[in-house]
């Protein structure tokens, strides 16, 4: 099996790592990869948004299976293009990817199929959103309102405003925050209260297989303070969701979502990611993503025992129900190491010390998010999030200890990380 992975971050390193462990793999490519991915795959210099070039590459190199890491390629229709050319690819079609690429689409979908989520209103311009708020059509003077840009915004398009005037200000700033296209429509939402958790599933159109529940830490600072980031760490642990809660999510959210996709003629195949709020009224959907999360994937993949190629083939042949997917029992932790200045202005080019020592620790995998080589072939930082130090162990505390011990091996000037992941 010749496999191509599309993307270049820690998530794609984890996906490549999983494929690299398959006895069925003969060749692994990653477009465009990074210095860590280069240790398990041949990196190919094609950007994830260059769909035609990716399809040309897959055809020319007789790639048997392509796995799409991120939402950009999916929203651009990579799956439709590959499928039209007879190339096997894992991910939803462009139409189904709207569950992520348009928050208004996702909210209308949930309303249509009675899937529990926050009350909402869609405004077809920033001005209309402000009128709705100021005219009292949505929310009240003193209650919190969540303001969301409709389009893809790399995690920057959501503001939890504490009152109406903050919400109006958030509308005004949305365009400059995420770009005019993503903010063409605005979704206003009731603010939900509860514990957040994410649940991902492999989906083949009809059948699904759940992954271990996962929690991320979005803020840069310990104690959840400071600006939002792409994610500073994640854990998987059975304590995140009880079997009863999981059953409720399957019954009220996952099954209706897959059924809704079939009814709307956008059958979903790929990775379905539910961002959930566990409220007093039961689980509610905060967002759908239509691909693996980053850094959720890193913590999930280190527990996957089953061959990822087998899982992909079961997804392609709609036989996920016949495959038993095996997870390493226990828990896992992923600690993100970021460069100085992240998230506002990350500095790059710093030489990374201690990678080999950290990677040689038992039950530790160091995934690269943003690294490259300098002229002496040493690893240097090449992005905001640089490394994801990940460990799967018998319980959460041991996994955290093991990840943090490996973190202490690694350094570069200005390296920052949170010491409270999993707490
Ligand atoms: P999203 O990208 O839609 O998941 O939003 C990002 C983050 O904003 C979530 O992880 C929540 O912390 C928060 N959030 C989004 N929607 C809501 C909501 N309706 N109520 C409360 N918090 C929310």
Exposed / middle / buried, residue 377 (Cβ in 10 Å: 0-12, 13-18, 19+): exposed
Per-residue pLDDT of the chain (423 residues; tens, 9 = 90+): 999 999 999 999 999 999 999 999 999 999 999 999 999 999 999 999 999 999 999 999 999 999 999 999 999 999 999 999 999 999 999 999 999 999 999 999 999 999 999 999 999 999 999 999 998 888 888 889 999 999 998 878 899 999 999 999 999 998 888 888 888 999 999 999 999 999 999 999 999 999 999 999 999 999 999 988 999 999 999 999 999 999 999 999 999 999 999 999 999 999 999 999 999 999 999 999 999 999 999 999 999 999 999 999 999 999 999 999 999 999 999 999 999 999 999 999 999 999 999 999 999 999 999 999 999 999 999 999 999 999 999 999 999 999 999 999 999 999 999 999 998
Strand partners, 3: 28, 65
Tens digit of each residue's pLDDT (9 = 90 or more) over 97-121: 999 999 999 999 999 999 999 999 9
In 3D space, the residue among 296, 285, 159, 300 whose CA is nearest the CA of residue 228 turns out to be 159
Per-residue model confidence as pLDDT tens digits over 69-83: 999 999 999 999 999
Best mutation site among 155, 230, 286, 293 for ligand 1 pocket (most ligand atoms within 8 Å of CB): 286
Nearest alpha carbon, ligand 1 atom 1: 287
Beta strands in 11-170 (DSSP E): 27-32, 42-44, 65-68, 89-90, 120-123, 145-149, 158-161
Residue with CA closest to ligand 1 atom 16: 286
pLDDT (0 to 100) of residue 194 = 97
Residue 269's nearest CA partner among 32, 92, 22 is: 92
pTM of the entire predicted model? 0.97
Q: What residues line ligand 1, using a CB cutoff of 6 Å? A: 118, 146, 148, 158, 160, 189, 191-192, 196, 275, 286-287
Q: How far apart are CA 355 and CA 387, in angstroms?
A: 10
**Which residues on neighbouring strands pair with residue 150, listed in sequence order?**
none
With CA atoms as reference, report the closest residue to 2 among 22, 29, 30, 39.
Answer: 29
CA of 186 to the centre of ligand 1 (A): 14
Q: Which atom of ligand 1 has the smallest separation from the CA of 103? A: 3
Is 6 within 8 Å of 58 (Cβ atoms)? no
Measure 50 CA to ligand 1 centroid, in angstroms.
30
Nearest atom of ligand 1 to the alpha carbon of 148: 3
DSSP state of 139: S
């Amino acid at each position: 099996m010749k496999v191509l992975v599309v993307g270049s971050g820690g998530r794609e390193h984890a996906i490549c790592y999983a494929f690299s462990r398959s006895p069925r793999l003969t060749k692994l490519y990653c477009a465009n990869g990074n210095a860590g991915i280069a240790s398990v795959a041949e990196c190919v210099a094609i950007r994830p948004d260059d769909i035609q070039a990716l399809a040309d590459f897959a055809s020319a190199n007789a790639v048997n299976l392509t796995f799409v890491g991120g939402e950009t390629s999916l929203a651009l229709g990579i799956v439709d293009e590959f499928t039209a050319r007879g190339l096997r690819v894992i991910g939803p079609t462009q139409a189904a990817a709207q569950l992520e690429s348009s928050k208004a689409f996702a909210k209308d979908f949930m309303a249509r199929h009675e899937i529990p989520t926050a009350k909402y209103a869609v405004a077809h311009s920033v001005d209309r959103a402000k009128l709705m708020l100021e005219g009292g059509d949505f929310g009240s003077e003193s209650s919190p309102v969540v303001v969301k840009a409709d389009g893809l915004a790399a995690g920057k398009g959501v503001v939890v405003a504490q009152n109406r005037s903050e919400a109006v200000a958030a509308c005004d700033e949305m365009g400059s925050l995420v770009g005019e296209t993503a903010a063409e429509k605005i979704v206003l939402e009731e603010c939900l209260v509860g514990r957040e958790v994410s649940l991902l599933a492999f989906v083949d159109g009809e059948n699904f297989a759940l992954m271990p529940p996962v929690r991320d830490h979005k803020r840069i600072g310990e104690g959840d303070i400071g600006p939002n980031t792409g994610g500073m760490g994640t854990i998987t642990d059975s304590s995140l969701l009880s079997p009863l809660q999981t059953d409720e999510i399957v019954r009220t959210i996952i099954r209706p979502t897959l059924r809704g996709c079939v009814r709307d003629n956008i059958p979903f195949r790929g990775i379905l990611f539910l961002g959930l709020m566990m409220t007093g009224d039961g689980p509610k959907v905060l967002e759908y993503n239509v691909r693996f999360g980053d850094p959720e994937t890193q913590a999930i993949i280190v527990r996957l025992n089953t061959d990822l190629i087998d899982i992909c083939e079961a997804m392609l042949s709609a036989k996920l129900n016949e495959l038993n997917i095996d997870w390493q029992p226990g828990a896992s932790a992923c600690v993100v190491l970021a460069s100085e200045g992240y998230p506002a202005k990350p500095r790059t080019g710093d030489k990374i010390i201690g990678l080999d020592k950290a990677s040689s620790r038992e039950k530790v995998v160091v995934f690269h998010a943003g690294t490259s080589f300098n002229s002496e072939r040493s690893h240097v930082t090449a992005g905001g999030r640089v490394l994801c130090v990940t460990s799967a162990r018998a319980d959460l505390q041991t996994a955290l200890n093991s990840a943090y011990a490996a973190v202490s091996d690694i350094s570069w000037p200005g390296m920052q990380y949170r010491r409270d992941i999993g707490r």
